[in-house]
Amino acid sequence: MPTLSLLLPLLLPLLAAPLARRLAEQLAPRAAALLLAGTAATLAAAAGTALALTAGTALLRLPPVAALGHLSPHWLPDSPYTATAAALALTATAALAVRTARRQLADLRRARAVVGPGTAALAVLDDERADAFALPGLPWQRGQVVVTTGMLRALDGPERAALLAHERAHLAGRHHLFLALAEYAAVLHPALRQLRTPLGYHLERWADESAARATGDRAATARAVGRAALAAAKAPRPDRPLLAPAAHTGPVPRRVAALLTPATRPRASATRTAAALALTACLALTAATTLDATTDLHRTVESAQAATR
C-alpha cells in the first residue's frame, strides 16, 4: 500500500517525539542527548524521504520526464493533489532549511568576528556583562572557549575551572552539531520542534557532568552554574526580552540541583522499558515503511519502463 507507507513516516513523529522526550527524562544526560538527536535524525530523514517520493512520482508523470526515462505515464499512480501538496511542502522545507543554514552561519560569523582571528583555546572578551559560550571551529579545528571578564570576576578559582571544563566538554563532544541537527529536523517535521529544548537541556547536563568529573568537584561545578546565571541576570543586556515569572522551574536551577545531588545511575523502571519499546517500534516502523515506499517506487518505475517496450 503505497499511500500508507508514505503517510506513516509523516504521522509517526506525532507519537514518537513525545515518547522520546519522556524516555530522555529517565536517562543519563549523555544517553538522553544521543537518544533525542538519533530520534530527530531518523524521523526527519524518513519524513523528508516520504515527501520527496510523493512529489517525485508526480514528476515522473510529466511527459518530458516520462519520455526521458522511457516510462509509460499510465503505469504511474495518478494523485495530482497529494503530489502538489508534497511538492509545496518540499519547497517550503527547502526554503526554511536554507534560512536555518544562513542563520547558523551568520551566528557563527558574528561570534567569530567578536572573538577575532586568534585560535587560542581561551578567548577573553573585555566586557562587564557575564557571558560564556563555546565557539566551534572548522571541522579540523578544536574550537575556542569564549568568556567575558565580567563572568570570570563573578567566579572563584575552582568555579572558573568548572566553567572552562564545561565549555571544553561542549567542544570535545561537538555539541553544536547536535543543536544544528535538531534545527534541521524541526524544519522537516513540525512535530520534531519539541525535541530542541530538551536536547539543549540534556547537552548542558552532559557538559555539567563532564565538568564535575574533570574537576572532581560537584559542589564547585554547581556553584559555577548558579553564580554564573545570577551574574548574567544582574546585568541583563538592554535588548534582552524581559521574562515573565515562569510557573515552572527553568533549566538553570534544575542543573544546579542535579549537580548538588550525588551522581547516580538512573534505575530501569517499567515505564522506562515501556517507553523504550514503544519508541523502538515507532522508529522501526518508520524505517520499514520508508524503505517499503522507496522499493515500491522503484518497482513502479520498472514496470512503467517495461510497458513502453
Partner 1 sequence: MPEPVPGPASPQRRSAGELESQVLAALWAAAGPLTPQEIQHALGDGLARTTVATILARLHDKGQVQRHKAGRGFAYTPTVEDAAGLTARRMHHELGRNQDRSTVLARFVSDLSSDDERLLRSLLGEA
Among residues 47, 135, 192, 276, the one that binds partner 1 under rule CB under 8 A? 135
Shortest distance (Å) from residue 151 CB to partner 1? 8
Q: What residues numbered 171-200 form the site for partner 1, per CB under 8 A?
A: 172, 175-176, 179-180, 183, 200
- DSSP calls for the chain: -HHHHHHHHHHHHHHHHHHHHHHHHTS-HHHHHHHHHHHHHHHHHHHHHHHHHHHHHHHHHSHHHHHHTT--GGGS---HHHHHHHHHHHHHHHHHHHHHHHHHHHHHHHHHHHH-S---SEEEE--SS--EEEE---TTS--EEEEEHHHHHHS-HHHHHHHHHHHHHHHHTTHHHHHHHHHHHHHH-GGGGGGHHHHHHHHHHHHHHHHHHHHT-HHHHHHHHHHHHHHHHHS--TTSPPPPPPSS--HHHHHHHHHHSPP-PPPP-HHHHHHHHHHHHHHHHHHHHHHHHHHHHHHHHHHHHHHH-
Among residues 76, 188, 225, 304, the one that binds partner 1 under rule CB under 8 A? 225
As a whole number of Å, the end-to-end CA separation of the chain is 26
The smaller minimum CB distance to partner 1, of residues 51 and 165, is found at: 165
Please state the separation of Cα 237 from the chain's center in Å: 27
The smaller minimum CB distance to partner 1, of residues 61 and 168, is found at: 168
Among residues 5, 54, 148, 289, the one that binds partner 1 under rule CB under 8 A? 148
266 interacts with partner 1 by CB under 8 A: no
Among residues 85, 87, 96, 214, the one that binds partner 1 under rule CB under 8 A? 214
257 interacts with partner 1 by CB under 8 A: yes
202 interacts with partner 1 by CB under 8 A: no
Among residues 64, 80, 139, 157, the one that binds partner 1 under rule CB under 8 A? 157
Shortest distance (Å) from residue 81 CB to partner 1? 35
Quick note: the x/- pattern for partner 1 over 38-77, rule CB under 8 A, is ----------------------------------------
Q: What residues numbered 69-128 form the site for partner 1, per CB under 8 A?
A: 100, 103-104, 107-108, 110-111, 113-116, 120-122, 124-127
The smaller minimum CB distance to partner 1, of residues 21 and 168, is found at: 168
Shortest distance (Å) from residue 73 CB to partner 1? 43
Which residues neighbour 244 within 8 Å (Cβ) at sequence distance 6 or greater?
none
309 interacts with partner 1 by CB under 8 A: no
Shortest distance (Å) from residue 290 CB to partner 1? 27
Among residues 64, 80, 139, 241, the one that binds partner 1 under rule CB under 8 A? 241
292 interacts with partner 1 by CB under 8 A: no
- Cell 577575532 found at: 116
